Structure 1
Amino acid sequence: MSLITKPTLGHKRAKYARRTILKAIPLTGAAAVGSRTASAGTTPPETLPLPTGFQPEGIVTGRGSAFFVGSLAGGAIYRGDLRTGEGEVLVRSAEDRVAVGLSYDPRGTNLFVAGGPTGRAFVYDAETGETAADYTLTDPGSFVNDVVVTAEAAFFTDSFRSVLYRVPLGASGRLPEQGAVDELSLGGDFEAVRNEFNTNGIDAPPDGNHLIVVNSTTGMLYRVDPDSGDASEIDLGGETLTAGDGILLDGNTLYVVRNRNNAIAVVELEPGASEGEVVREITDPRFDVPTTIAEFGSALYAVNARFGVEDPENAEYTVVRVPKRSNPPT
């Protein structure tokens, strides 16, 4: 789901080309992290700390109040509790792994992870942290960005290719062998900008009869057929959502993180998602290049990726809680 806006996109792509796989940070044996703002019996913390140097990108909720955040640096996965703010590293970093977008399958304990420039997809047991599957989706050097799990499959976006990768799922979310993985070409109205980040965040309604994706560079939203890949532009009345990153669909309301804008756009979709209206933006002074969001109750939780921060390996990172319906006081 990562995006650095147009003036710095080339720098980001060059950065990945130089290193191919992001350097793993020393998160093995990391100590648990506790919230600096919460105590037992109080309201959920407004700000949740992540391990120093974690370099987060994706977030998703699991069972109960559990949440998971992935690291761009070494693919570590952090598991925490939204009620207490406490947590610890579940999956340790590795030199050949990256974690970008995340999706959780509630039918079991599988946590799906987009592997960014590795060209791979990883599936972890959300309880134990063990690797359940490791799929090759494309050649290294592309950018597998985000993922959504439906009843039928896990769908992954690629920001450098106009395709979706589909990992079909069996009964109760049973994982397939590598040979079952395929790709869908994005057709219809979909347009990509050469040498830029394109397809980014992805989500789907509970019935899974269509997918919604955002193009970070053009700011267009698309409704995509999960069987054919045919994409129809969602008419926003001339509005665009440039710098669109992670998205979250809640009924007919779509939340679109606009990372460099430090904002979350709120889009009210018509039934069927053929058109919609950007009704407002959620902002917060604590936003520092948020990339993705998860929901819990009446709140959204945004990851601060802090792209461009000095000395990222030693920087502090957080997840911030904001209400869905209105801006918090400044």
Structure 2
Amino acid sequence: MTKSLRLRASTALLTLPLAAGGLLAPAVAAPSGAGDRIDLPTGWQPEGVTTDGTDLYVGSLATGKILRADLRNGRTTVLSKSETGKPAVGIDYDRWRDVLWVAGGPQGEIRAQSASNGRVLATYRLPHRKGRFVNDLVVTRKAVYATDSMKQQLGVVRIVDGQIPPSGRAEKMRLTGDLQYEDGFNANGIARSGRWLVLVQSNTGTLFRVNKKTGRTRAIDAGSHDFSNGDGLEPDGKRGLHVVRNQDNLVVDVRLSPRRLKATVVEEQTSSDLDVPTTVADVGTSLWTVNARFGNTTPTTADYWITRLPDPEG
């Protein structure tokens, strides 16, 4: 069962530039066909969001279902064949093949699912699934790369001749170099930036550049800024990056250097409508972020929604 869009007045949105003068006055989001908030079904428990440029796709931690939200009018539809009974964590739209790639969390798997009806097309399991948490992923023309928050590696699915390979084992690429795993959740969000990958280590608040051929990592110097509770990453143009800090209710706009070894924080955004945001999708002049509401004591009966924020560089 889906809910229709609940149109609201603009939320109390704050844009927080990191300038010597302190905070600017609250900024108000521009109008959107889908309004500033899209409601999800009761008990949905979202974590990942992605876009094909017209629609948003949101997975469910509870059931594995995937929901499509039309940004022209805010209407939502659950993809009819998407329920897997296993978590849908990170999710990324594959524009080359019209496929949704889904991270399976504690199931230790990566799934390719139809963007039209959600049917599972193929499943790729990381070796020794126990103790794994496949958290987020990013698709390129030639491969899919997924973070494992518990094991210092990426799961990799190679795309051969532009086609989705048959189900089987995912490759594992060991992460070497500056990144060192510690207790807690480690590598989380991942994005492509130029010829590299960029990931965030949640427990240390550090961004890393990753060589997608070798897995070698280099820490990205962000000065005194850290990205504690870093979750989803979303590229913005050639060198822009949005970093979601879940428990801090922040979306941070970052500018990366040409070699992706330095990061300048442009501004931070928060809103009274955010409640533990996890990931964000960039569509035109808008950022759409899902609210996971981690810590809610009644997740199966709780309300969930997507919040619209302005894209600072949109």
* Residue matched to 2:197: 211
Distance (Å, rounded) in 1 between the aligned partners of 2:273 and 2:32:
21
Equivalent AA in structure 1 for residue 7 of structure 2: T
* Residue matched to 1:183: 172
1:168/1:180 contact within 8 Å kept? no
2:241/2:256 contact within 8 Å kept? yes
* Residue matched to 2:144: 154
CA separation of 1:71/1:198 partners in 2, compared to 1, >3 Å: closer, same or farther? same
* Residue matched to 1:223: 209
1:45/1:83 contact within 8 Å kept? no
Distance (Å, rounded) in 2 between the aligned partners of 1:218 and 1:163:
17
**Residue in structure 2 matching 1:75, options 64, 82, 99:** 64
Distance (Å, rounded) in 2 between the aligned partners of 1:171 and 1:67:
28
**Counterpart mapping for 1:275-314 below 5 A:** 275-314=262-301
1:111/1:124 contact within 8 Å kept? yes
Matching of residue 89 in structure 1 with residue 78 in structure 2 = yes
* Higher strand fraction (1 or 2): 2
The count of aligned residue pairs is 288
Distance (Å, rounded) in 1 between the aligned partners of 2:120 and 2:198:
28
**TM-score normalized by the length of structure 2:** 0.88
Matching of residue 34 in structure 1 with residue 4 in structure 2 = yes
Distance (Å, rounded) in 1 between the aligned partners of 2:141 and 2:82:
29
The 3-state SS of whatever aligns with 1:204 is strand
Distance (Å, rounded) in 1 between the aligned partners of 2:36 and 2:72:
10
* Residue matched to 2:42: 52
1:179, distance to aligned residue in structure 2 (A): 5.0
1:233, distance to aligned residue in structure 2 (A): 0.6
The 3-state SS of whatever aligns with 2:110 is strand
* Residue matched to 1:3: none
**Counterpart mapping for 1:163-182 below 5 A:** 163-172=153-162, 174-178=163-167, 181-182=170-171
Percent sequence identity over aligned pairs: 40
2:114/2:121 contact within 8 Å kept? yes
The 3-state SS of whatever aligns with 2:87 is coil
**Structure 2 unmatched ranges of 5 or more:** 9-30
* Residue matched to 1:262: 249
Q: Which structure 1 residue ranges, 4+ long, deviate > 2 Å from structure 2? A: 41-44, 91-95, 177-181
**Residue in structure 1 matching 2:135, options 134, 145, 158:** 145
* Residue matched to 1:10: none
1:238, distance to aligned residue in structure 2 (A): 3.0
1:200, distance to aligned residue in structure 2 (A): 0.2
1:262/1:290 contact within 8 Å kept? yes
1:108, distance to aligned residue in structure 2 (A): 2.0
Distance (Å, rounded) in 2 between the aligned partners of 1:291 and 1:271:
27
The 3-state SS of whatever aligns with 2:300 is helix
Q: Give the RMSD, CA atoms, in angstroms.
A: 1.7
* Residue matched to 2:11: none
Equivalent AA in structure 2 for residue 105 of structure 1: D
Distance (Å, rounded) in 1 between the aligned partners of 2:303 and 2:82:
18
**TM-score normalized by the length of structure 1:** 0.84
1:129, distance to aligned residue in structure 2 (A): 1.8
1:171, distance to aligned residue in structure 2 (A): 2.7
1:113/1:147 contact within 8 Å kept? yes
* Residue matched to 2:125: 136
* Residue matched to 1:109: 98
1:73/1:93 contact within 8 Å kept? no
2:82/2:120 contact within 8 Å kept? no
* Residue matched to 1:99: 88
* Higher helix fraction (1 or 2): 1
Distance (Å, rounded) in 2 between the aligned partners of 1:76 and 1:179:
22
